[in-house]
C-alpha cells in the first residue's frame, strides 16, 4: 500500500519509513504539510500518516485541507501525537482524522492500525466502483428514456392545425421526460373532423409504454374507420372506445387502465358528437357566455369487463371554443394542498375567450406553475383547444 509519512522530525520519518517498508509498504516522505498535500495530489496514495505538531501547516490543518481536496478517492489519515491524547483526538476528529497513535510508535500498533485502514479503503473502493457502475447504468437508462420521450412526442400532432373550419391548437407538458398522456386530431372528410385525448393511469415507464402503444394504434386510418365507417354519414366516436377496451383488456392484463375522450365535429350540422370514458369533462365556451361543462364522466377504458360506452352530442357553432384538458390541470396542487380545480380553470379560460388559443395555452401553463409554486408540474398536462371558425 502506498503511504505518505509527513513529519518535520527526520529521525521520526526514518523510523516510520523503515517499519513500513519492512512490512511491504511503499513509502513517500514529506517534511511538512505542503509537501504532503502535493504528494497526495501527485501519486494517489490512500494513507497519510502525519505528526500533530509540525511547523507551518500542523497536523490538524493538514487534515482539514486534505478533506477539502477533490482527489476522487478517500484518504485515510492516521495522526501521531505525543501530547494529551484526549484533547488531540477531539480536535483531530473534527479536522477529519480517522485514527491516532501515541509516540513512540509501536510497530504492532502501527500495523494493526494499517490493517483497519486497508479494510476501510477496500470498502470505499468497492463502493466507488459500484456507484460508478450505477451511474453508468443510470446514464444508459436516461438515454433510453430520452429516446422514448422523443418517440412519444413524434406521435403527437402539430401544435396548430386547421381542419375544415375547426382550428385545433394543443400543448403538451410532461411531468418528466416520458408521459402517460397521448392525443391527436384528424380530418374525417369534407366538413368533418375528429380528435381524441387519453391519459394512462400511473406514471413512469409503464404508463408511457402503454401511451405509446395507444398512440400507434389510434392512427388516422384507424380513427377514420372507427368514427366514419363505410356507407354512412353517422359519426360514431364510441366505437373507438369499444375497440380499444377489448384490445387493452387483453394486452394490459393488470390493474392498468386509461381515461379517454373521443370527439367528432360535423360542421354542417354544427354538432360535436362525443364519447367520454372517464376523461375530465371538457369546457365549452360560447361568445359572451361563461364556460360550461360537456359530458358526465363515463367508465375508463380497460377498467371493467363488458363496459358500455355511450355516444352524446352538443351544439358546436361558429365562434364556439372547446377546451379538452387532462386532469393534470384541475388536480395541480398548491403548496398548501389545495387543488387548482375546475371552477378556477373555468374562470381562467372564460376571462380569455377573446384570446387566440396559441396565446392562452402558455398562459395556462404559467398559471399552473404559479399555483403550485414549483419549477415543474407533478402530473402530465395535455390541452387541446378547438375553435369553430366561420
Per-residue pLDDT of the chain (390 residues; tens, 9 = 90+): 899 998 888 888 888 888 899 888 989 899 888 999 999 998 889 999 988 888 888 888 999 999 998 888 889 999 888 766 677 778 888 888 888 888 888 888 888 888 888 888 888 888 888 888 988 888 887 787 777 777 778 889 999 999 989 999 999 988 776 778 999 999 999 999 999 999 998 777 778 888 888 988 999 999 999 998 766 678 999 999 999 998 888 665 566 789 999 999 999 999 999 999 999 999 999 998 999 999 999 999 988 888 899 999 999 999 999 999 999 999 999 999 999 999 999 999 999 988 999 999 999 999 999 999 998 888 889 999 999 986
Q: Are residues 124 and 204 in the same domain?
A: no
Please indicate, yes or no, if residue 150 is contained in any of the structural domains. Answer: no
Number of domains the chain is built from:
2
SS3 92: helix
Is there a domain that residue 147 lies in? Answer: no
d(CA 115, CA 129): 21
**57: number of Cβ within 10 Å:** 19
Q: pTM for the complete prediction?
A: 0.69
Q: In what order do the strands lie in the sheet with 47-51?
A: 26-30, 2-6, 47-51, 76-81, 99-102
**Same-domain check for residues 110 and 224:** no
In this structure, the answer to whether residues 173 and 37 fall within a common structural domain is no
Residues 97 and 161 in one domain: no
Q: What is the CATH number of the domain that holds 317?
A: 3.60.40.10
Does 29 lie in the same domain as 120? yes
Same domain, 166 and 297: yes
| CATH, residue 21 | 3.40.50.2300
* 143 in a structural domain: no
Residue numbers of the domain that contains 318: 156-388
Amino acid at each position: 500500500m502506498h503511504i505518505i509519512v509527513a513529519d518535520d522530525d527526520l529521525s521520526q520519518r526514518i523510523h516510520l519509513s523503515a517499519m513500513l517498508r519492512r512490512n511491504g509498504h511503499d513509502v513517500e516522505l514529506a517534511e511538512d504539510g505542503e509537501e504532503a498535500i502535493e504528494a497526495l495530489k501527485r501519486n494517489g496514495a490512500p494513507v497519510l500518516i502525519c505528526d500533530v505538531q509540525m511547523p507551518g501547516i500542523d497536523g490538524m490543518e493538514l487534515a482539514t485541507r486534505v478533506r477539502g481536496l477533490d482527489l476522487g478517492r478517500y484518504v485515510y489519515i492516521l495522526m501521531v501525537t505525543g501530547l494529551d491524547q484526549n484533547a488531540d483526538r477531539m480536535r483531530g476528529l473534527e479536522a477529519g482524522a480517522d485514527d491516532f497513535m501515541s509516540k513512540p510508535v509501536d510497530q504492532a500498533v502501527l500495523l494493526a492500525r494499517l490493517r483497519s485502514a486497508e479494510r476501510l479503503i477496500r470498502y470505499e473502493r468497492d463502493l466507488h466502483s459500484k456507484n460508478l457502475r450505477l451511474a453508468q447504468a443510470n446514464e444508459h437508462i436516461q438515454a433510453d428514456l430520452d429516446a422514448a420521450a422523443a418517440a412519444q412526442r413524434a406521435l403527437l400532432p402539430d401544435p396548430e392545425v386547421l381542419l375544415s373550419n375547426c382550428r385545433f391548437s394543443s400543448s403538451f407538458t410532461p411531468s418528466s421526460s416520458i408521459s402517460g398522456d397521448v392525443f391527436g386530431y384528424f380530418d374525417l372528410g369534407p366538413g368533418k373532423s375528429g380528435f381524441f385525448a387519453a391519459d394512462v393511469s400511473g406514471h413512469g415507464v409503464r404508463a408511457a409504454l402503454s401511451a405509446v402503444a395507444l398512440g400507434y394504434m389510434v392512427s388516422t386510418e384507424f380513427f377514420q374507420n372507427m368514427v366514419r365507417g363505410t356507407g354512412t354519414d353517422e359519426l360514431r366516436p364510441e366505437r373507438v372506445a369499444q375497440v380499444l377496451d377489448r384490445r387493452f383488456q387483453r394486452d394490459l392484463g393488470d390493474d392498468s387502465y386509461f381515461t379517454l375522450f373521443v370527439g367528432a365535429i360535423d360542421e354542417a350540422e354544427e354538432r360535436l358528437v362525443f364519447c367520454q370514458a372517464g376523461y375530465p369533462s371538457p369546457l365549452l365556451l360560447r361568445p359572451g357566455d361563461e364556460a360550461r361543462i360537456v359530458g358526465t364522466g363515463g367508465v375508463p377504458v380497460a377498467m371493467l369487463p363488458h363496459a358500455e360506452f355511450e355516444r352524446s352530442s352538443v351544439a358546436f357553432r361558429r365562434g364556439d371554443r372547446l377546451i379538452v384538458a387532462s386532469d393534470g390541470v384541475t388536480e395541480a396542487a398548491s403548496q398548501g394542498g389545495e387543488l387548482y380545480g375546475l371552477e378556477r380553470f373555468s374562470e381562467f379560460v372564460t376571462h380569455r375567450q377573446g384570446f387566440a388559443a396559441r396565446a392562452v395555452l402558455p398562459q395556462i401553463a404559467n398559471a399552473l406553475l404559479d399555483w403550485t409554486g414549483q419549477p415543474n408540474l407533478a402530473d402530465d398536462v395535455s390541452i387541446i383547444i378547438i375553435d369553430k371558425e366561420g
